[in-house]
A and B are shown apart, each in its own frame.
Chain A
Amino acid sequence: MSLSQHEIDREIAALREEYEEARAAGAPRADHPARDYPPYRSSTLRHPRQPLVPVRGDPETTELHTPVFGDTDVTALDNDLTRQHAGEPLGERITVSGRVTDTRGRPVRGQLIELWQANAAGRYAHPRDQHPAPLDPNFTGAGRTLTDDDGRYTFTTIKPGAYPWRNHDNAWRPAHLHLSLFGSAFAQRLVTQMYFPGDPLFPYDPILQSVTDESARRRLVAAYDHELSVAERSLGFRWDIVLDGPSATWFEEGR
């Protein structure tokens, strides 16, 4: 059970090499992680062995439409995770902003983004998180927002801490935000994680490394953006999100 980081590193390297050889032989780019990724131990029993069955949708297909969210589902302060309690949370205040589009670059408008994260010490406000780091009475770490007409979103929060987990001996997750997105179709649903630039834990983390394509991995890392930093207030990070999958609107546009 107690595998060393070294053994995990070897597995990660072997799978990356396998992917790069397949690419060199003409295999398509893998944008998403394989569901079967042994270095992430919990994936072993939680992935299907049968291939997925492709559904060629048409404009009537339920999954090519989306649930709708709106002003009743989100209040104005929900995208500011630093203002949910009487006091200010501890940590480095940050702004995360970007644009949500489909693979054609068209904005996903008026759609829900949910965010959750650990506090500055690397602890989740979740009773099952047993990491002995302090909880912050002024930070819950959950928020939500709607994209605007250009697909843009903004969150104000604090930078989460790295934290240990039990995948292997001395395993640490790099600091990350969890995000949940709805697109223009249920088929475009995405749950993912955003990382911060320059984190030294990247190569050790089997969850980030489950994305074996280097360019795809880079798309999970936000960019520091000085234009988004607010003087004497917060540091800014830009992270654009592209949702894949078909939508009924494509057919309506004659595509």
Chain B
Amino acid sequence: MSAQPPEQDAGTPAATSAGTPPLPPTPSHTVGPFFGYALPFPDGGSPAPAGHPDAVTLHGRVWDGAGAPVPDALVELWQPDPAGRLPQLCGSMRRDAATGGHAGRNGVDFTGFARVATDAAGHWSVRTLPPGARAGCAPYVGVCLFARGLLHHLFTRVYFPEHAAANAADPLLASLPAERRETLVAAAEDERRSTPGASGTHRSYRFDIRMQGERETVFLEFPEPRESRG
């Protein structure tokens, strides 16, 4: 199913016109401890279409500043397909119109969006397609992290170790000191056989998120381009 991407319209009467100050944003708040029955959804961690031969596993743990796992975090991923195109497809959290319950993904489309909660060990896991490169950057998966205790979500990125040359030229990675850069590059794990009977192998990557302290993950912000405001 295709859907129109959300768009913004500069031509409505409510739009701020040139020279007027931007509207102040609605403040963020923590996702709290009780999102578990509302936000996660079946197949949230399986954006790769069923049986896709190129699917990879991306997984890791979320750690707090004392080195304890974070068992109540929510990890969201947003990424291009292997050709570097950003999907404009709905259906990530498809509903069953008869029961109102979740129907799971349709098994065909790649929406580029995943959402998983961490388990009691702070572990999350997603089965996805490897992202392709988009102009000017090495291939990466965008990440947004929410948790109880986190008053304002955090963005980070997962880069992949096999793209060493592209990673070296990536503007974000290149801007970071080496020890911080490493926090954004997933570790390749041994190739594993996929499900018994399936042909071939699939790749698996480990990406831990350290919210604070030693080897703290690099977190990102996306400032509004002030110079072009109004």
Residues of A within 8 A of B (CB): 29, 31-35, 37, 40, 42-50, 52-58, 60-75, 77-78, 84, 99, 101-111, 114-116, 118, 124-126, 128-129, 140-142, 147, 150, 178, 180, 182-187, 189-193, 207, 210-211, 215-217, 219-220, 241-247, 249-250, 253, 255
> Known contacts A44-B65, A45-B211, A109-B9: does B27 contact A68 (CB below 8 Å)?
no
* Contact between chains at B79 and A62 (CB < 8 Å): yes
* Contact between chains at B22 and A187 (CB < 8 Å): no
Alpha-carbon gap, A142 to B150, bound state (A):
21
* Contact between chains at A220 and B37 (CB < 8 Å): no
Name the A residues within 8 Å of B39 (CB-CB).
Answer: 114, 116, 180
A interface SS class: loop
* Contact between chains at B92 and A73 (CB < 8 Å): yes
* Contact between chains at B212 and A46 (CB < 8 Å): yes
Distance between B14 CB and nearest chain A CB, rounded to angstroms: 5
CB nearest neighbor in A for B144: A189
Residues of B within 8 Å of A, CB-based: how many? 92
* Contact between chains at B222 and A246 (CB < 8 Å): yes
Closest 6 A/B residue pairs (Cβ): A42-B149, A70-B90, A70-B3, A116-B38, A67-B113, A244-B25
* Contact between chains at A190 and B26 (CB < 8 Å): yes
Distance between A85 CB and nearest chain B CB, rounded to angstroms: 11
Residues of B within 8 A of A (CB): 1, 3-10, 12, 14-16, 22-39, 64-66, 68, 70, 76, 78-80, 86-97, 100, 106, 111-113, 134-137, 140, 142, 144, 146-155, 172, 175-176, 180, 211-213, 216-225, 228
Name the A residues within 8 Å of B144 (CB-CB).
Answer: 186, 189
Distance between B204 CB and nearest chain A CB, rounded to angstroms: 22
Q: 20 extra interchain contacts, Cβ-Cβ under 8 A, other than A32-B25, A60-B136?
A: A32-B27, A35-B154, A40-B30, A47-B150, A48-B216, A49-B216, A53-B219, A68-B4, A68-B6, A70-B90, A71-B1, A73-B93, A103-B22, A105-B14, A116-B34, A186-B78, A207-B29, A242-B23, A245-B224, A250-B228
